[in-house]
Chains A and B, each alone.
Chain A
Amino acid sequence: MITQVPHPVLEVHDLTVSYDQHPVLWNVDLSLPAGQLIGILGPNGAGKSTLIKSIMGLIQPTSGYIKIFDKALPEVRSRISYVPQRESVDWNFPASVLDVVVMGTYGKLGLFRRPGKKEVQIAQEALEQVGMTAFANRQISELSGGQQQRVFIARALAQQADLYLMDEPFAGVDMATETAIFQLLQDMARAGKTVLVVHHDIHSAMNFFEWVIMLNLHLVASGPKDQVMTEELLRKTYGGKLNLLTQVTDLIRQQDFNPLKS
């Protein structure tokens, strides 16, 4: 059940990704419409983060390509905003909340130029949107998990992009914060931004997303929520081991080279 759209914001074409010799995504082929809140669902190790990282150019795909706004990534990088997983950084780093959010403006600033008044202004507006203004001067290690997550989202907002890629922004976030952030993301989608979110919880996915991508090493489904959130597709995504695919993966790992590399 894969719905393709005309004039997509994001087109992933036959993407296969492997770490060293270990394929983690097989032939993902999808296209996404603009102005929607899109969820990426799948069990642990399904390749959800890998898909986001490949779109962001952080991982070199083994084969296939990605087009964003019908262009290659380097041409449109300033229109894309990225929220990495919260655990990917050391929160003991000596920085204030504002310092981190200002990093969102680095991309437009470019190399060697120092952030000035304008950048601080943008960062403060972003903090206001996630309700963290009161914490602007707080040391980041003193924040709770949910607050750290909101700081990362504020940094992404400060990038002032059209396409947002968020890797597990709701991990370790309490229910009230989750709902507040979801509402913020829905507002952004309504304003014409496309927001792509890696997510765990099927229940809240049902409530908030308009479009859903289901992954389990391969693409199970991609389409409007009502059409893809079916019992059969969910079972395909979450239930049962992909015995055959796992065995093929093991076979590839035993080779002395990566046969998938073209």
Chain B
Amino acid sequence: MEDFLYFFTFQDPSITWVVLGITLLGIGSAYVGTFSFLDKKALLGDAISHAVLPGICLGFVLAGEKDPRFIVTGAFLSGALATFCSSWLKQNTKLSEDGIIASILSVFFGIGIVVLTAIQKSGNPEVAGLNSFIFGNAIGIAEADLFLYGGLSLAILLVLSLFLKEFRLMVFDPGFGKAIGFPMKGIRFVFNVLLILVVVIGIQAIGVVLMAALLITPGAAARFWTDRLQSLLLLAALFSILSGILGTYVSFVLPQMPTGPWVVVFLSLIALLSFIFSPKSGLIRRFLARRSYLNKTHRDHLMKALFKAKEAKREVLTLDEIHALYPFHKKEISHSLQILVQQGLVLQDAQGIRLSASGTSDAMRIVRLHRLWELYLNESMNIAPDHVHESAEQMEHLLTPELEALLEQRLNYPTLDPHQETIPRESHDA
């Protein structure tokens, strides 16, 4: 608790700086990452973030110490080389894109690890800091370095807001962009530079291995909540900042704890919650929608049974008789009965169960839809009368009043279905 207060009241200026840095980084990576996620180029970000490792090591060797200017430059150059290689290979070979990206990632990362091991063996006392580039250590960033990272983040945000319209076009319809004379190749080049830059400034805090998660997960999680680009970008940035700060906090409280994995843990948590709770396409939402639909089908079946009995001149059925019709859904039928009684569609007394006046009208509509659909299948789609029942069992719960009117019109208000049963209508319709 003490740590919590100490961290979040920002008494320590160095914490303020780190939080500010990770916020800027979060916004930048969420923006750039969301575009590459929408562009279905998520893997490219992963390849680039692994591919900067040899550049980091090279920068370290040239500077002889952990000088951020050398390291950032080295990382940028090796990320750029990887990006160039991937687009060159794509244009000049018949290799598939995923194959190219996988090879680039492993080749560059492999070389990086080899060089890193060689440096570690060399006994340079400065080498300890290099390990933090693998999994990231936000707290370990020196204040002076923060200005470099923060400045680059700001520059990225500036360019992004300038190119918003152009990047939208690049992702949605680059062919159209070219047709109206926009330099689409140049725009993609700028975007790739931003992507590499975001990775380069993120590695100190998040690490090469997990940087891709900071790029892609915020956008992917935010996509569950919105259908608009502007709000998608804002939400992605929010998710990214939130997990960035929480991850930094954990690595501040628990010594020796790397930042990157914790940021990814929080990001994944947000993505998981979005997947479950999203009001549009979330797991819970879909589960509820399906359950309410199933409940409706059971109620419809109960009313249909009562209506058919009525057609056979039996106004009242006992619960046992209805259960006998749907032997596998006794529990659901009993539950539906309660609801229908509450709604006043069905009446239950000592003699048994019967339809009320409004219930009769509703039940008639279900039976009507069933038989209309059977007739439609039979007449318009040439399906044999003994093959139409199954489909009608499903459609009777689905068809809207508009489609019902269309069916009636198309079939010219028929009186009999393919099984020579009457298609029931309210008397004033007839």
Q: Which residues of A contact B (CB under 8 A)?
A: 56-58, 74, 77-78, 80, 82, 84, 88-90, 93-96, 99-100, 103, 106-107, 109, 111-112, 114-115, 139, 141, 155, 159
Contacts and interface: CB of A to CB of B under 8 A. Distances in A.
Contacts of A139: 227
B226 interface: yes
Contact of B180 (A94, A95, A107, A112): A107
Contacts of B171: 93
B232 A94 contact: yes
B176 A84 contact: yes
Q: Chain B interface residue count: which class?
A: 20 to 34
A56 B179 CA distance: 6
Interface of B: 38, 40, 162-166, 168-169, 171-173, 175-182, 223, 226-229, 232
Given A84-B173, A94-B227, A95-B229, A58 B165 contact: no
Contacts of B163: 112
A220 B168 CA distance: 40
A56 B165 CA distance: 21
Given A94-B38, A94-B228, A114 B172 contact: no
A112 B162 contact: yes
Given A77-B181, A93-B171, A103 B176 contact: yes
B173 A57 contact: no
Contacts of A88: 173, 175
B233 to A, nearest CB: 9
A71 to B, nearest CB: 14
A94 B179 contact: no
B179 A57 contact: yes
B170 to A, nearest CB: 11
A78 B180 CA distance: 7
17 contacts: A58-B178, A58-B179, A74-B181, A78-B181, A82-B180, A90-B40, A94-B38, A94-B226, A95-B168, A95-B172, A103-B168, A103-B169, A106-B182, A107-B181, A107-B182, A109-B165, A114-B164
Nearest to A105: B180
A93 B169 contact: no
Nearest to B186: A111
Contact of A82 (B162, B166, B176, B232): B176
Given A94-B223, A103-B173, A82 B179 contact: yes
B175 A93 contact: no
A96 B180 contact: no
Nearest to A108: B180
Contact of B165 (A74, A89, A93, A115): A115
B222 to A, nearest CB: 9
B381 to A, nearest CB: 18
B180 A159 contact: yes
Contacts of B164: 114
Contacts of A80: 179
A88 to B, nearest CB: 6
A84 B229 contact: no
B180 A89 contact: no
Contacts of B165: 106, 109, 112, 114-115
A9 to B, nearest CB: 17
A121 to B, nearest CB: 17
Contacts of B180: 77, 82, 106-107, 159
Highest count of chain B CB atoms <10 Å: which of A89, A96, A159: A89
Contacts of B223: 94
A107 to B, nearest CB: 3
A4 B227 CA distance: 49
Contacts of B177: 106
Nearest to A155: B176
Contact of B172 (A58, A90, A96, A115): A90
A106 B169 contact: yes
A100 B228 CA distance: 12
Contacts of A114: 164-165
Contact of A99 (B175, B176, B181, B229): B229
Q: Which 9 pairs, one residue from A and one from B, show the smallest C-beta to C-beta distance?
A: A107-B180, A139-B227, A82-B179, A77-B181, A56-B179, A89-B173, A93-B172, A94-B229, A94-B227
Contacts of A141: 227
Contacts of B181: 74, 77-78, 107
A49 B34 CA distance: 32
B182 A111 contact: yes
Nearest to A82: B179
Nearest to A102: B165
A89 B172 contact: yes
Given A99-B168, A159-B180, 12 more contacts: A78-B181, A80-B179, A93-B172, A94-B226, A94-B229, A96-B227, A99-B229, A106-B165, A111-B166, A111-B182, A114-B165, A139-B227
A103 B177 CA distance: 9
Contacts of B228: 94-96
Contacts of B226: 94
Contacts of A89: 172-173
